[in-house]
Amino acid sequence: MLNVVLVEPEIPANTGNIGRTCVLVGARLHLVGPLGFDLSDKSVQRAGLAYWQSLDLATYESWSAFVSINFPDGLDGSAHLLTKAGEHRYCDASFQSNDWLIFGKESSGLDRALLESYPQLCERIPMRGDDALANASVWHNSHEELHPELKRDICGNFVDSREGQITSLNLSNAVAIVLFEALRQLDFPSM
């Protein structure tokens, strides 16, 4: 079973959408706190629709709690840290059935210290517009100051206002792209 991990997710509708996708493909969803919303939030429930009660869900108070339970000896090759700062492409990864697809919060991604500790596990989704964020290591909460040309669209994607070009995906889109590549490699039925 594939594991989708959201570290400190902030937007309840994204989590609901991701939860629904996990139910449909038989993946387990792990939510690592602190969460930016309450799980009883109506937007989570609305996005998850009737699927939410069928979700295989695990929650953790913190990153350290998640690691101590699932990776007591430290992260290993089954962990895929999805980040714009990754040198490796997610589509070049070799996915196994018990892998962990780990995504950071919408506003700032995964913790920089974590990424620096495990550069070999960092993977990115290549996309048009990567040049706009060539120095991905400086992407953080003040990205508006560093990249004033980037504006969020209604879906949470960053769009380069100079060209109308999307430069990053919202969390639920990113999870779906990586999850479906992993399922394709694992010969998921109908893929």
Instruction: Tell whether the model's pLDDT for residue 42 goes beyond 80.
Output: no
Q: What spatial distance separates the first Cα and last Cα of the chain, rounded to whole Å?
A: 16
Q: Per residue in 8-40, pLDDT tens?
A: 999 888 898 899 999 999 999 999 999 998 887
Tokens of 155: 């879906």
Left, alpha or beta for 68 (phi > 0: left; psi -120 to 50: alpha)?
Answer: alpha
Q: What pLDDT is recorded for position 186?
A: 95
Phi, psi of 102 (to 5 degrees): -110, 125
Instruction: Note the pLDDT of residue 29.
Output: 97
d(CA 163, CA 171): 22
pLDDT for residue 45 is more than 70: no
Q: Is 97 helix (H, G, I), strand (E, B) or coil?
A: coil
**Topology of the domain comprising 3-126+170-185:** Alpha/beta knot (3.40.1280)
Work out the average pLDDT over 41-61: 80
Tokens of 170: 């919202």
Indicate the pTM of the whole model: 0.80
Query: pLDDT (tens digit, 9 = 90+) per residue, 104-139?
Result: 998 889 999 999 999 999 999 887 655 444 444 444
Domain boundaries, the chain: 3-126+170-185, 128-168
User: Of 138, 176, 183, 148, which is closest to residue 17 (Cα–Cα)?
Assistant: 176
DSSP string for 34-88: SPSS-TT-HHHHHHHGGGGGG--EEEESSHHHHHHHH-TT---TTEEEE-TT-SE
